[in-house]
A and B are shown apart, each in its own frame.
Chain A
Amino acid sequence: MTYMPKVDRRSFVVGATAAGGGLALGLSLPSGGVTPVLAQDGTPEVNAWVVIRPDDTVVVRVARSEMGQGTLTGLCQMVAEELEADWSKVTWEYPTPGQSVARKRVWGDFSTGGSRGIRMSHEYVRKGGAAARMMLVQAAANEWKVPVGECAAANNVVTHKPSGRNLRYGQLAAAAAKLQAPDPKDIPLKDPKDWKIIGKSVKRLDTPDKVTGKQVYGFDIKLPGMLTAATMESPVHGGKVKSFDAAKVQGMPGVKKVMKLGDTGVAVVADTYWHAKTALDALPVTWDEGENAKVSSAAIAAWLKEGLDAEQAFVGNSNGDAKAAIAAAAKKHEAVYAYPYQNHVCMEPMNATARYTPEKCEVWVPTQDGEASFAALLAASGLPAEKCEVYKLHLGGGFGRRGAFQDYVRQAVLIAKEMPGTPVKVLWSREEDMLQGRFHPVMQCKLVGAFDKDNNLTGLHMRLSGQSILANVRPQVVDQNKGMDPLVFQGLMRAGNEHMFGYTIPNLLIDHSMRNPHILPGFWRGVNINQNCIFIECFMDELAEAAGKDALEFRRAVMSGNPKNVAVLNAVAEKIGWGKPAPQGVHRGLAHMHAFNAYVAAAAEVSVTNDKIKVHRIVAATDTGYAVNPAQIDRQVAGSFVYGLSALFYQECTVKDGRIEQTNFDTYNSMRIAEMPNVESIVMPSGGTVWGGVGEPTICVAAPAVLNAYYRATGKRIRSFPLKNHNIAFA
Chain B
Amino acid sequence: MSQPNAHELLEIARQTLLEQLLPALPGELRYPARMIANAMAIAARENCLQTHARRQELALLSSLTGDTEAPLHEARRQLARDIRQGRHDSAQSQHSLTRALRQIALARLAVSNPKAVP
Is this pair of chains taken from one and the same complex?
no
Question: Chain B interface (Cβ within 8 Å of chain A)?
Answer: none
Question: Chain A interface (Cβ within 8 Å of chain B)?
Answer: none
